[in-house]
Structures are given as structure tokens and as C-alpha cells.
Amino acid sequence: MPDDIDALVRMGEAAVPRLQQIRRQGPGQLRAPALRALADVSGSRDFDAKDLGAVERLIRTKLLDERPVTIPTAGRWIAFPADQLDTVVSVWGLHDLRAATTAMGLAAATVAPDTADFTTADGSSATAYRVFITPEFKNWRLLYGNSFLDQLGGHELAEKASEQCGEAHFYTIDPYHNADVWWVARNGEVVRGYATYGDPEWVGDPLPFEVEFIEMDEDDLWYDPYFAEKYSEGVTDAHKAAEELSVEPGPVRERDTHGHGWLATTHPDVPTSHFKGALPI
């Protein structure tokens, strides 16, 4: 970003009028950096109608050709049945759903600022969260939103959703701390869970897909004492659990992908346009 635009960004929202002027009047080489700067300073709420229209057209164009997509192999997310989108939107109190590419949505929910502080109608302080719901992958959709999951609790959100949509899972893969979490809730009840540093480490009885791991013996071609001990009580890898139960992290084949993703916010007074940060499309 050019030095003069970078200086305006450091000024914060006081720089919005000047950035808008650059967008309208130039100089030409600063118009694109000024748009990114506006997004970093105040989100897209200070874009003019022309810029908003251009961004929306670009998103629609990218959505036509974004497949195959890749979902992160690390992080945290909730998986829920794809046909229950409207249900979980209601259960989790989501608002202002806007179509988004997967690259855009993941950046918004896991890289860019995903919280916005505001004052409610009664004068109290509150925080809204931005989340991303992926396209449909093999009959599942995934919700990402680091702050949303951390502050409201991924386990609790999955359990709450499962009360209305039958089933929901919470996963965490944290290579830095060598930690895995996977949590399966059905009809509002936890049926199985594992957490590397949990107390207890396990919840519920092993699910059917775990049996082959638990019952490994010397006749297994891939037998190894380390794995036999690791899986003696069940599957400890959230990646493997996700592969068996919903959607495996990583590249998702085009034939297994349907529809598009959605950005959403947790408060009707704070639309997604109010969240700061320039996003890739």
C-alpha cells in the first residue's frame, strides 16, 4: 500500500472523507489502494453505490467459478446438515446473510476482525460476531467464526443446533498445541466427544466407525503398537472423525459441492458491512 494511503489508514475513521475523495477523483494509481484502505478502516459501509455494485458483481462472477474449494485443515468449526440452514440461522440468531466466496468467507471469519462492538438501543455495550457458512459439502455445511465459537462455546452451539436439526458436530484441530477436539451432539444430547486436554478426555460411548481402530490386532496390515495404544479407547484425531462423520478438511471435490457460502452477523443492528478488513474475493 502506498505510504500516503498507509498514513491515512493509521488515522482511522477520520480519514474516510479523504479516502472517498480519492476514490472519486484520483489520482488514478491510488484509487484501488484507497478502496482497500476504506475496507480496513470502516468495512464496506462507507463504499459509495458504484463501488458496492462493483464488489457485488465481482462476487457473483467468482461464485460461478470457485470450485473446487478447499477448507482449512486446522482451525475450529461446526458441521450441520445442509438442509437445515434456515433452522440453524434461527437457532443461532444470525442476520444479514450475504452470498460470499469461500476464500472471502474464511478470511472474514478466521483472519480479518470478526467482532464489532456497538451500543444497543438501551445504551449498553455489546459485541456482534461475523461468521461464515460454507457451501454444501456432501450434505453438510460448516460454520466458521473464531470469536463466535470461542465466546459462545462451540460445544454449546452444536448442542443447541442439534435440538432443532437433529445433529451437529464441533471440531478443533490445533497443530500448534497438538490438540484435537471432536464433539457429536444429537437431538440436544452429547453422544460422543474427545478433547486432547479434556477432563475427562472422553465423553460417551465409541461410535461405530471407531470400532476398527479400537479392535486393531497383530493381523492388521498396518498394525503398530503406537497406534494400537493411541486408539485403544477410540479415535483421537478430529480430522479422521470429520472424515467419517461429515466433511474431511482440505480440498473438496467439485461433484461434492453445491450452492455457495454465506456471510452473516449475530446482531440485526450490525450488518456484515460494518466489520473492518479488506477481504479477498
Q: List pLDDT tens digits, range 154-201.
A: 999 999 999 999 999 999 999 999 999 999 999 999 999 999 999 999
CA 264 to chain centre: 10
Beta strands in the chain (DSSP E): 69-71, 75-81, 95-100, 115-119, 125-133, 136-137, 140-144, 167-174, 179-186, 189-195, 202-204, 250-252, 257-258, 261-265
User: What is the percentage of the chain residues whose pLDDT exceeds 70?
Assistant: 94
Q: Which residues of 243-277 are buried (b: 16+ CB within 10 A; e: fewer)?
A: eebbbbbeebeeeebeebbbbbbbbeebbbbbbbb
Rg over alpha carbons for the chain, rounded to the nearest Å, is 22
Decide if pLDDT at 90 tops 90. Answer: yes
CB 79 within 8 A of CB 242: yes
- Share the mean pLDDT of the chain: 91
Report residue 102's pLDDT band, with 50, 70 and 90 as the boundaries.
very high
pTM beyond cutoff 0.85 = yes
Distances (CA, A) of 51 to 47, 91, 254, 273: 6, 34, 31, 13
Q: List pLDDT tens digits, range 4-17.
A: 677 777 787 787 88
- Give the pLDDT score at 1: 57
Cis before 2 (ω within 30):
no
Give the whole-angstrom CA distance, residue 156 versus residue 150.
Answer: 10
Sequence-separated (6 or more) residues with CB below 8 Å from residue 35: 23, 47, 51
Give the whole-angstrom CA distance, residue 132 versus residue 276.
Answer: 15
Residue whose C-alpha cell reads 470469536 in the numeric block: 147
Residue whose C-alpha cell reads 433452522 in the numeric block: 87
Instruction: Please calculate the CA angle 208-74-174 and round it to the nearest 5 degrees.
Output: 85
Q: Which residues of 102-113 are buried (b: 16+ CB within 10 A; e: fewer)?
A: bbbbbbbbbebe
Report residue 36's pLDDT band, with 50, 70 and 90 as the boundaries.
confident
Give the whole-angstrom CA distance, residue 154 versus residue 195.
Answer: 13
Sequence-separated (6 or more) residues with CB below 8 Å from residue 227: 213, 216
Decide if pLDDT at 142 tops 60. Answer: yes
Give one word for 234, left, alpha or beta, with left for phi > 0 and alpha for psi -120 to 50. Answer: left
Residue 225 CB neighbour total at 10 angstroms? 9
- Give the pLDDT score at 218: 57
